Structure 1
């Protein structure tokens, strides 16, 4: 069968797909739409159109090479018997370590010292150390205690001896070293606030003007979730006024970040291009994991990280209608 890639994947993942007998293609001259029209599965690294099924009538699988499902129109897929899967945890170490790097850069003034060293010299650069501080004893608040949040909490608590606060949906127990608190308290008490939650209707605008106003004067907001989780205008106002310490942002409402965006002109921000989860090791794990899920689905098996199991029976009927055999369900 034909597996469409929205973007290149690591050769290890592509090798798994080809070893299973599948054809693998990237968008060509006709673009992604022309490829989707022929595809049996798609591996996703960029946002798919909301009317995906209308553009991809043969599609049986949409597999996220990563975690965030906001790139896949899950409801449309479910309505048209397309199975959706992702690879949770594959980039958890990469993202958690990235957040630690953001905190260290902010706390030790790495970015400002670098710029001062190049522009004004050695002594002026060293003078910035008067603003530096250690992470030990500071408070980290984590919004979203999934694989990333749990790993981040472990590193911060055990490695840096920070106090770690956490907020998550539901009443599942917190991992060791993380104290459960409500969101308003987390924003008010934390020296660093790390957003590591998925983008959902409930989390859109979660870092609101009211919650940003609760932040400590020197606190930093770290966003490795999705841009719309933050009220962008409220954050800009707080940064411009110096009401918070700063922001380290890896994601934005519109990506790529516009060349004229006002964030680019602010001295108290660290900007990166949605790269927190893109270490070499994470890319291998995400590619291999996504390829494995595609192979399972196209073989008529349930994926391991099954996002829309309610589409299972309809998917089996669709396979038969398309002329593909419907394999028996393997034991979980």
Structure 2
């Protein structure tokens, strides 16, 4: 069977796929039309970039859309479910990587690492060293986390137990937060925090949740850290707040449109740290995402349930889709 890759994967994933007897198809070109062409004859797709919403109208054989990562906003899940296409992901695979990246963002902001480096190379020892006059420590500061899932929980533990920070958290359900994270209503979290980490999924409820009103509640020294998805933050109000010095700064790994345009106003602001959607990418996390996503792809193509089943309500429709395609059906007891 044919497995489409929207982007390269680690060798271990290719080995798992080929040892199971499957053919690998690679993306040629870019954009929605290239993705539709890639999946036209595919039985499964391993997803590392946004799929077109109408993909299932152009992929008659597709049985699986497996996310090489955690967030499934790159996959048209409702359409997949309606067509009997199973969706899987790799939950928790990059939680350590992203939590550590957020710590790196806080430390870079607190100690002016980027500016000090540039000053040291361009202007010498003295000007670079003078940056330390406004450096701060994390101990005693307040970290607010929007989205206390795997990433937020690990970040909170590192911040509270490793740096002695006060940690506030906000999520839909206040009960059951880790003991070192105190629940806060969202307006209070923005008003009281020195660092605000966005680690929530992109949903209709979270899109644009960080708006002008929420930014206005931030301390003039506070930093906004976004490793979730770009559309969680309204970029226009954020740029205005940064440009006018109404907040301390922003460390951004994700954007409304990616890659970040060469003329984007964020590039010209001195109180911004930019990275290319890389918070979750380490050698360890990418190996895990490749191995687990390939394993679940093989399971689905064999007619088995994936280990990380995102849309289990599509199971019966997926079996009907296999029958319509004339594919072998494992015994019900073996399909668990």
TM bin, normalised by shorter chain, reads: over 0.9
Q: Distance in 1 between matches of 2:174 and 2:47?
A: 31
Counterpart of 1:8?
8
Q: CA deviation at 1:176?
A: 2.6
- The verdict on how the C-alpha distance between 1:205 and 1:43 changes in structure 2, with shifts beyond 3 A counting, is same
- How is 1:117-136 mapped onto 2 (pairs within 5 angstroms)? 117-136=120-139
Counterpart of 1:255?
258
Counterpart of 1:198?
201
Q: Does 1:56 align with 2:59?
A: yes
Q: Deviations over 1:110-152 (max 9, x none)?
A: 0111111122221011001011011111111111111111111
RMSD: 1.3
Q: Deviations over 1:84-110 (max 9, x none)?
A: 111010011111110000000000110
- The verdict on how the C-alpha distance between 1:293 and 1:172 changes in structure 2, with shifts beyond 3 A counting, is farther
Q: Distance in 2 between matches of 1:288 and 1:176?
A: 33
Name which of 268, 273, 276 aligns with 2:271: 268
Q: Does 1:309 align with 2:312?
A: yes
Q: CA deviation at 1:172?
A: 4.3
Gaps of 5+ in 2: none
Q: Distance in 1 between matches of 2:112 and 2:333?
A: 55
Counterpart of 2:222?
219
Gaps of 5+ in 1: none
Counterpart of 1:162?
165
Give the SS at the match of 1:252: coil
Number of equivalent positions: 332
Q: Distance in 1 between matches of 2:308 and 2:182?
A: 28
Counterpart of 1:111?
114
Q: Distance in 1 between matches of 2:99 and 2:127?
A: 32
Q: Distance in 2 between matches of 1:191 and 1:301?
A: 47
Q: Distance in 1 between matches of 2:77 and 2:151?
A: 22
Counterpart of 2:18?
18
- The verdict on how the C-alpha distance between 1:84 and 1:138 changes in structure 2, with shifts beyond 3 A counting, is same
Q: Distance in 2 between matches of 1:28 and 1:240?
A: 40
Give the SS at the match of 2:242: helix
Say if 1:222 and 1:249, in contact at 8 Å, map to a contact too: yes
Q: Distance in 2 between matches of 1:305 and 1:330?
A: 17
- The verdict on how the C-alpha distance between 1:253 and 1:215 changes in structure 2, with shifts beyond 3 A counting, is same
Question: TM-score scaled to structure 2, two decimals?
Answer: 0.96
Q: Does 1:290 align with 2:293?
A: yes
Give the SS at the match of 2:98: helix
Question: TM-score scaled to structure 1, two decimals?
Answer: 0.97
Counterpart of 2:78?
75
